[in-house]
Structure 1
Amino acid sequence: MTNKQKLNKKEEIKDVQPIRTLAQIEDMKWALKRHCSERDYIMFLLGINTGLRISDLLNLKVQDIKSKKRIVIREGKTKKPRTIYLTNIYDELNNYLDTLNNSSWVFPSRKGDNAISRIQAHRQLKKGADMADIPYGISTHTMRKTFGYFYYKQTKDIASLQTILNHAHPKVTLRYIGIVEEDIENSMNNFAL
């Protein structure tokens, strides 16, 4: 990847926002499950509940997660081990895995014995977002940012979130999940002289 491509990718990630309401998350789940596929729904569900990068999600194999409530993976980008807790989606995830016939991949492609591509994952998420009337940029990175946003909103534990997302500084994490911009907007909306 050239330096220009890396810069473009970083700019694209900055433009992507988390999904900020539970209603929009439910709409997205419904759209993916009803109008895309169970595979795409589970990919979204796993993404927003773990904060894994799309490359790590797509590399998951059935044997890695079947009947497990906790797994340890080595992240592709950072090469660091990370513990993933699946308790909150265990039943739904395993019901889905039971439907996969002869596939070793959690998110199998319909073309051969491979996982779906990042491009296909992006297409399906975009299709779901369009059906759910989510107006802003959706990408595969939306799942990770949504996880971070809601983890922070529920726990206010920026130190743990920074560790989970493998960020170097809490400011990076707050900016990444859009809290800095949201706080500024909220304070400016209430500001008047």
Structure 2
Amino acid sequence: MSQPHNTNKGERLNVQPIRKKSDIEIARFLLSKNKHGQRDVLLFLMGINTGLRASDLVVRTVGEFRNTKHPVIVEQKTHKKRTLNVSNLSDLIDDFIKDKQDNDYLFQSNKFKNYHIKVNGVYQIMQKLGRQMDRDDFGTHTMRKTFGYHYYRQTHDIATLMTIFNHSSQQITKRYIGITEDEINESLDKFKLGL
């Protein structure tokens, strides 16, 4: 099973991306059945389409996304400004925020009125999803790694992905998104000696 605590480095290393697009569709369907399904689906889709850390997702406010497809945020860990591109999610976001106030948190807590879901809440959502999908490698970094994995597979632009993730080397980025492991396995699939 994944580590019980969602902020340690062990969890980041054990957590894997969702590699199959069909599994992303299954995840979206399962999340839609949650008590707060619309919120959980949007959280998941924002995570896998922006690559934001869970800590940066949970603190977003409605006003940041009203009337813009390119909100500018400040990342909590790095304190760096980042412009998001949520063009592909704009219809979902607009529908989700239409009856909300600008100062409301985008992802409201179940327990506390006028407060956002906590990172541990995201962890719990991902752990439940993992159990439903018979996976023990889901955690708070699943969404971020899924973004990185599919971004790299579609573009092969590791340099831009490294910049998005604020990593110091391409090797770190490849290892983080599970590409190094995939590439090793693919090369070994074709490797034969004495056969």
What TM-score, normalized by structure 1, do the two folds share?
Answer: 0.90
Deviations 1:19-56 (A, max 9, x none): 00100000000000123411111100000000001111
Query: What is the deviation of 1:103?
Result: 6.8
What are the ranges of 5 or more consecutive residues in structure 1 without an aligned counterpart? 1-5
Percent identity over the alignment is 39
Aligned match of 1:20 = 19
Q: Note if 1:9 corresponds to 2:25.
A: no
Q: 1:67 to 1:48 in 2, by over 3 A?
A: same
Distance across 1 between alignment mates of 2:75 and 2:165: 10
Aligned match of 2:118 = 117
* Structure with greater helix share of residues: 1
Query: What is the deviation of 1:99?
Result: 4.6
Deviations 1:117-160 (A, max 9, x none): 111111112222322x1424101111000000000000000111
Aligned match of 2:146 = 146
DSSP-derived class of the 1:82 partner: strand
| Equivalent residues, number | 186
DSSP-derived class of the 1:185 partner: helix
Distance across 2 between alignment mates of 1:190 and 1:134: 29
State the one-letter code of the partner of 1:25: I
Distance across 2 between alignment mates of 1:149 and 1:47: 13
Distance across 1 between alignment mates of 2:76 and 2:102: 25
Aligned match of 2:166 = 166
Does the CA contact (< 8 Å) of 2:62 and 2:102 recur in 1? no
Query: What is the deviation of 1:102?
Result: 8.6
Does the CA contact (< 8 Å) of 1:103 and 1:113 recur in 2? no
